[in-house]
Amino acid sequence: MHTLKGKTALVTGSTSGIGLAIASELASQGANIVLNGFGDADAAVKQIASYGVAVRYHGADMSQPAEIEAMMRYAAAELGAVDILVNNAGIQHVAALEHFPPERWDAIIAINLTAAFHTSRLAIPAMRERNWGRIVNVASVHGLVASRQKSAYVAAKHGLIGLTKVAALELAETGVTCNAICPGWVRTPLVMEQIEARAREEGVSVQEAQRELLSEKQPSHDFVTAEQLGQLVVFLCSPAASQIRGAAWNVDGGWVAQ
């Protein structure tokens, strides 16, 4: 155990949901953690500290390249250059293309895609130098297949998988890997907002809206858990995964198999 002892992991958007679960699984393996995101950072810091690892928090807004640069400098100064980079911060907006607010498009592309370009370009030099590194991009089934009313999100997640492949190729002769994970429905605040909105629109209970959502797309009719995604990231950081490069791992209860 503690297979990642001494490594520094930066997980963007890790104050809640999937990011916090990924940070927790990495911390359970001994990695020191830099957290990022909005909301209750103190609770997230406490949760990670309970694993007995070093933990820092930086509140960079991932839509702002200058703040991303400041966060990368802070991480290196506090805990050493980033060994494991998890690009997880993400937002969503649901609207038909012709009604999609242009400013929401820009924000979704900036946070879900462009931020990963900036963190990666800034993390790669030290990873190359040490000939070890892991970059994991949290994409989505929407990086592999589309859904109506999610134009910016689908475009950003498809782009993120493209970026993953290019990074993997450029790093192929080094000990640095880059892969994407593609969750289906995971029960997090992001998804609960959508379920609650749907329940309001249709005048049904939250439980009914949740049942409909799962039965439409996810053949297992069950949520993926954030912990399962964290365990997959730990696996991608392990020696067994050193030749997994440029892959997009769907963890989706069978969604894209249909």
Binding footprint of ligand NAD on the chain (CB under 6 A)? 13-19, 36-39, 61-63, 88-91, 111-112, 138, 140, 183, 185-186, 188-191
Residues 6+ apart with CB under 8 A from 201: none
Residue 78 or 128: the one with the smaller Cβ distance to ligand NAD is: 78
Task: Indicate which residue of 51, 57, 74, 153 is catalytic.
Answer: 153
Residue 111 or 209: the one with the smaller Cβ distance to ligand NAD is: 111
Residue 160 or 171: the one with the smaller Cβ distance to ligand NAD is: 160
Query: What minimum distance in Å lies between the beta carbon of 47 and ligand NAD?
Result: 13
Neighbours of 31 (CB within 10 A): 28
Residue 159 or 183: the one with the smaller Cβ distance to ligand NAD is: 183
Query: What minimum distance in Å lies between the beta carbon of 174 and ligand NAD?
Result: 26
Residue 241 or 251: the one with the smaller Cβ distance to ligand NAD is: 251
Retrieve residue 193's tokens: 């907002």
Query: What minimum distance in Å lies between the beta carbon of 107 and ligand NAD?
Result: 8
Catalytic residue flag (residue 153):
yes
Retrieve residue 209's tokens: 């809206």
Calculate the alpha carbon distances from 97 to 2, 100, 149 in Å. Answer: 47, 5, 6
Query: What minimum distance in Å lies between the beta carbon of 131 and ligand NAD?
Result: 29
Query: What minimum distance in Å lies between the beta carbon of 164 and ligand NAD?
Result: 13
Query: What minimum distance in Å lies between the beta carbon of 140 and ligand NAD?
Result: 4
Residue 58 or 134: the one with the smaller Cβ distance to ligand NAD is: 58
Q: Cα dihedral sign for 7, 8, 10, 11?
A: positive
Catalytic residues: 153
